[in-house]
Chains A and B, each alone.
Chain A
């Protein structure tokens, strides 16, 4: 059953919803990347909460005009207008008063949301039963979605995606270096507004599917996940879109199978699962990779210090060092060096002396800059250079007492 939903074989409507949600997820992941790089991820929280009064007012207007009140395009239009007002409030508060951006975001989201709740209670008293669909905007539900609604979502997701693809160059420039972007003729203010407008579009389109409380997660979690895998913006945008799309696809498919399950939470939790996997397993930046790197480094330090101790005939008290040397066949259990160990130790000591000369000599300045006490000298200097240094050191001398 779940497999059928994943492979889009569960009827026309479910298929359309799944495709729409996936497109939306991709658009959210891609848009969110720019928000994240611009360090304004939480502005999306204000945007999403500020949609609620718009939804309420749009509903009331449509009912007053004699309409159904639940027509999705109208509700989404209302949501877009009120969240745009919320966004303007945030930027006005941060620009013209001394309040910082986080206070402005918090104030706008709580006040707009509170006002939206007031409107919802008004609607509940207007006509019994007619407001039934509006609670779905809090947590999202794809159950009972009409064909036209699904079409709106799929179309909106695709359009947003297209807009991001067109604007990606100037937005990337802006995310990394606003001054440079300005000097290249990018209108920084307008481009910032464009990023926000895209985030707003994603939020509004996602309202019905994910709900306004959790839509933020679709904008925040995929970029954070993608950041673990790459250091390049274009790759990050791709990976982020992929993560967002994948999470939305799984979530929509699951809720097609079990209509009672709210879609939003499932999408958020699948997204979070992808994040945890990346946090642990990503190469280079993942926790596991960092830990392994640390262990490897620890080994190198212990090995090096152990060899130097062997070379100078000092006893080794450190248990870990001794175990490492023993395992490599360089020392016996009592800390006495084997033949191989003596050879390696002599080499280590010689390398120390070589480094000493290299670091004292201006001619090797660039090589000396790489000295960290662990690096093998062969990886830095050519054979000729080493033999030149060896000549300066002279022949092997016995280790004096």
Chain B
């Protein structure tokens, strides 16, 4: 395919998909190891009410208030889960399910009741995202990558996802050792003087940051899938955390690129004339990767378990 077609139409969506996938997969490694994988699920559900409330308060569909609203909602949900768990002495899974369904329901109801018909804000958009529409209209070919005028016309989502990814990387780089320690041996980490509770909340907040930035661009399905599938598949590949993180990045990039290409061009190859949902296809590819890993990966069994 020629650069004139690829760069404006497919390069930026693909890049955003890849970056969002990596930004979610990195904290996902720790969430999966800490058995908090479903926190990602909960966060991506509560982002919707946050965005709706931000819209109702400010009255505009702008990035900054919505990111703030979504981050606020993530914080509210974490506090609510913890409060319900402690006040009611309820098991964490049920508290989580209760919280995110309620907040999501509230978001849907607010959305339906308020006048959002004039703006591009609806539940389907929140779920599927609009990856395909993040095109780079100013580009005319590969040469545009060096053209400052054209670069100024890049979709703003790209910048936000880059910032989120950088934030995630900086967090992991700064807190790598304490995070690893508190993930594998919490009491030892406490004995070493690490504030494990605060670190846990920080991890969830970083995950929320990644989720919100990715959600803005690609919708919540990818967010959940990328939090869990690449790290889970990577977990089956190796016993070393560094390698697991590397594998998860590889898998995330692979699912984003393959998913986007199959969704965009697959139907054309098969003779249909319409593309299918890129977000859904990326999630599907990540699932196929996980399925392959679960069948063939070298470390798929529990250590100590007999090889069946």
List chain A positions with a Cβ less than 8 A from chain B. 36, 39-42, 44-45, 92-93, 96-100, 102-107, 109-118, 120-122, 125, 135, 138-139, 213-214, 216-217, 220-221, 223-224, 227-228, 260-262, 264-266, 268-269, 272, 275, 279, 285, 287
Contact = CB atoms under 8 A, between A and B. Distances in A.
B287 A110 contact: yes
5 contacts: A97-B236, A102-B38, A111-B286, A117-B280, A125-B274
Nearest to A260: B112
Given A114-B281, A272-B102, A106 B87 contact: no
A224 B94 contact: yes
B88 interface: yes
Contacts of A264: 105, 108
A115 B112 contact: no
A97 B106 CA distance: 37
Contact of A111 (B41, B101, B229, B273): B229
B284 interface: yes
A115 B288 CA distance: 11
Contacts, number: 208
Q: Top 3 closest A-B pairs, CB basis?
A: A114-B283, A111-B287, A117-B280
Interface centre among A41, A104, A106, A269 (most CB of B within 10 A): A106
A106 B109 contact: no
Given A113-B280, A117-B279, A262-B112, 10 more contacts: A97-B300, A102-B35, A103-B35, A104-B232, A106-B37, A115-B284, A117-B283, A118-B263, A118-B280, A265-B109
Interface centre among B88, B113, B224, B305 (most CB of A within 10 A): B88
Nearest to A215: B101
Given A117-B277, A279-B88, A98 B301 contact: yes
Nearest to B277: A121
A99 B235 contact: yes
B185 interface: no
Nearest to A92: B294
Given A97-B236, A103-B232, A139-B108, A268 B101 contact: yes
B283 A228 contact: no
B91 interface: yes
Contacts of B87: 279, 287
A208 B88 CA distance: 32
Contacts of B102: 217, 221, 268-269, 272
Contacts of B274: 121, 125
Nearest to A261: B112
A106 B39 CA distance: 9
B77 to A, nearest CB: 13
Interface stretch (B65-73, B122-130, B141-149, B174-182): B122-130
A30 to B, nearest CB: 16
A99 B35 CA distance: 9
Contacts of A216: 97, 101
A323 B246 CA distance: 65
B282 A135 contact: no
Contacts of B41: 45, 106, 109-110
Interface in B23-56: 32, 35-38, 40-41, 45
